[in-house]
Amino acid sequence: MLAKDYSQLQEEIIKSDILIVATGAQNPTIDKYLIQNKKPLLILDLSIPKNVDDNVTELPMVSLVHLDHLSQMTDETLENRKQFIPVAESIIAEIKADFEAWLENRKFAPTIKALKEKLQVFASAEVDSQRKKINEFNEAQAELISANIVQKITNHFAHHLKDDSLSSDDSIKLIKKVFQLDSKKYV
């Protein structure tokens, strides 16, 4: 958008798709006789008082929007959007609840990881011990069985911690105490 000399106004309007009028003139500076367009023209009149004569709307290819229309459109849009506020608040509340539930469950993760690691250490030690005692020891099968047992015990504790009827903080403290866990490195 370039500012042009007023004497070139009619030629510039012909080249334009959008004409923005914002003057301090007391009388209209644009009227239908000044516009010779053969293509659509949108005129935005941002002046107070109006600087575009309403007679431009008699031209078939011209659309006029005045500052009052823009304010009215803004007010209508705002009113239309207000009806969606309860829906937006509901979505926000649902996402917040999901996040808070995720966050609550997240506090179990360090303890569960520490417990799983401790159980894996127990399982590895027992597999090593049995390997030394048993001839033709099937290490692959022993590893599979011990991994499954570790996973089942870990899942059992995870479900226990997520049980709403129990104090999860007390349960976490008890599990840490019984298994001598340091879950700080998993946070």
**pLDDT for the residue numbered 1:** 56
**DSSP element (H, E) containing 16:** none
Where are any strands of DSSP class E within the chain?
Answer: 18-21, 41-45, 62-66
Note down the domain range covering 77.
Answer: 6-81
103 and 68 fall within a common domain: no
Lowest-confidence region among 121-125, 135-139, 165-169: 165-169
**pLDDT for the residue numbered 164:** 60
pLDDT top residue among 164 and 105: 105
> What integer best gives the mean pLDDT of the chain?
85
Q: Please tell me the distance from the alpha carbon of residue 153 to that of residue 81, in angstroms, as a whole number.
A: 52
- Convert the pLDDT of each residue in 60-83 to its tens digit: 999 998 887 877 888 888 888 889
147 and 72 fall within a common domain: no
C-alpha count within 13 angstroms, C-beta hemisphere, residue 184: 2
Give the sheet arrangement for strand 41-45, strand by strand: 18-21, 41-45, 62-66
Q: Please tell me the distance from the alpha carbon of residue 116 to that of residue 103, in angstroms, as a whole number.
A: 20
Domain count, the chain: 2
178 and 89 fall within a common domain: yes
Q: What is the mean pLDDT of residues 140-153?
A: 92
**pLDDT for the residue numbered 141:** 92
Residue 1 lies in a domain: no
In one-letter notation, the amino acid at residue 29 is T
19 and 68 fall within a common domain: yes
